[in-house]
Amino acid sequence: MSALSGMDVIVVGAGVSGLTTAVAMSLAGCRVTILAAEGPSQTTSALAAAIWHPFYQAPDLVYLARARHTYATMHRLSSDASSGVRMRPLTEYFRRDAGVPWWAECTGGLCRVPPERVPSRFACAYRMDVPVAATSTYLCYLMNMFLELGGRFVPRRVEGLASLLDEVEVVVNCCGFGSRQFGDDALSLSRAVVLRATRDDAVQGCFIDDSDPFAPTYIVERDDDIVLGGTAEPDLTSTVIGQRQIDDIVHRCTRLCEGVAALRVIDARVGFRPVRHSPRVVRDERYRRLLHNYGHGGGGFTLSWGCANDIVRLAGGVASDG
């Protein structure tokens, strides 16, 4: 029997962080309730391209361990057709040849693209297989898995986290940018504009050039659509998307993969990445039975299972405190 068996837990938030954490805690034997102001389909997570990729990330061993854990778990899930997760080929282009990307050791099928197939404005390119989720299918799949494990979902906005500790042994804050209201000034947002296009054989696989930190370019093939991105606009809260911005994304994506010119764009969406210098995955300094798991920036999917695993470990620490 696990040290967490029978432990009563509240997870606040039903984005990818909350759902993954709730599933991991349930699998560890906890009785878990999710409280969330918005259900999965209304979250930032629902807007994501949901490709496993360390966007804008400097080399970091903790990040690497979490990303590796997530890669392995999503790889396993990809064998279940109903999960919405698929392993897809990713071609990533680099402006500077710094050798094999630091995180590439996590991936399968890694190879260097022959120079004659790399456009002259890039120094090199690597190809690898990565997990990609059809976001709405995957979030729904996680919610169903959670409910089948005996979990409860309660739609409810939470005003304070500490008071929830009167109800259960452990509370996990997975509120994404919503954590700002609980006093974390280190949390900011980065606006992301993405387009969705209908699937077409002209685009197969995924393509990324994230060398411009304000204008990452990515094409993500998924089960039900193709996502074209994007932007990274720090602290911009407007939800208005200009036609010039849409044209610029299509232009950049077409330069990365000519087939994009054949796609039919069906909508443009804006979302806000919850950005911190690093994700906050810790026990609270003041309330030791309160755990935090938020602030994943552009890597909420990439880090999800690794961070959830760390939360299970931290909850084990609470259990052994007695």
Ligand X SMILES: Cc1cc2nc3c(=O)[nH]c(=O)nc-3n(C[C@H](O)[C@H](O)[C@H](O)COP(=O)(O)OP(=O)(O)OC[C@H]3O[C@@H](n4cnc5c(N)ncnc54)[C@H](O)[C@@H]3O)c2cc1C
Residues engaged in binding ligand X (CB under 6 A): 12-18, 35-38, 43-45, 47-51, 53, 157-158, 174-178, 181, 192, 194, 271-274, 294, 296-302
Number of neighbouring beta carbons within 10 Å of residue 251:
12
Closest CA to 62 of 292, 316, 306: 306
Residue spans of beta strands (DSSP E) within 95-173: 108-112, 124-133, 152-155, 170-173
Whichever of 165 and 319 has its CB closer to ligand X, that residue is 165
Dist CA 176 CA 303 (whole Å): 13
Distances in whole angstroms, Cα of residue 90 to Cα of each of 124, 197, 219, 285: 14, 18, 9, 40
* CB of 72 vs ligand X, minimal distance in Å: 15
* CB of 147 vs ligand X, minimal distance in Å: 16
Whichever of 120 and 238 has its CB closer to ligand X, that residue is 238
Whichever of 68 and 319 has its CB closer to ligand X, that residue is 68
* CB of 254 vs ligand X, minimal distance in Å: 19
Whichever of 30 and 299 has its CB closer to ligand X, that residue is 299
Whichever of 117 and 194 has its CB closer to ligand X, that residue is 194
* CB of 40 vs ligand X, minimal distance in Å: 7
* CB of 227 vs ligand X, minimal distance in Å: 8
- Residue 124 in contact with residue 97, Cβ under 8 Å? yes
Q: How many residues does the chain have?
A: 322
265-301 exposure pattern, b = at least 16 Cβ within 10 A, e = fewer: eeebebbbbbbeeebbbebbeeeebbbbbbbbbbbbb
